[in-house]
Amino acid sequence: MACIDILGEPLKGRGPRVSEAGKLMAKKAKTKRKADLLQGTLDMLILKSLVAGAQHGYGVAKWIQETTSDSLTIEEGSLYPALHRMQKHGWLTSEWGVSDSNRKARFYRLTRSGRAQLKKEVHAWEQLVSAIGMVLNSNIAEAKQ
């Protein structure tokens, strides 16, 4: 049985040789895919990071990065606007405190409304993953009939 790629094209031999420019383009594409993924999931990740209790912004970003084995990195330019937006929605509250490094920091806490929003976001995410899985696991020949 011949092997096919995700597009249904037959794989031949070891595949094409990739130039250094091609490798760089692939690396940039991978980075862009990470950013695109986060645009739709950042709220869910932040809300999940606060389930165990209050955390300052750096702690939220660090938890996400560590939990994903460095696969996801949340930049400050995305994190803080999202925290402020979620606070305006009533999903988070915040108060000033002192961090482990003895610095003044704003600590964010999940509200009841935030917990409900997290459930909604997780449900939507699971539906999306399921739908994408159906597409990726489908037989392309059957789909064309």
Q: Residue 82: which H helix or E strand, with range? A: helix 76-88
Q: Domains in the chain, start-ordered, CATH in brackets?
A: 42-143 (1.10.10.10)
Extract the residue ranges of the chain whose pLDDT is less than 50. Answer: 1, 4-7, 14-18, 38
Collect all residues with Cβ–Cβ distance below 8 Å to 65 and sequence separation of at least 6: 72, 73, 74
Per-residue pLDDT at 21:
53
Asked whether 111 and 83 are in contact (CB, 8 A), the reply is: no
Per-residue pLDDT at 29:
54
Per-residue pLDDT at 130:
94
What pLDDT, in 10s, does the model give residues 2-24? 554 444 555 555 444 445 555 55
Per-residue pLDDT at 5:
46
Asked whether 73 and 117 are in contact (CB, 8 A), the reply is: no
Per-residue pLDDT at 15:
46
Per-residue pLDDT at 140:
76
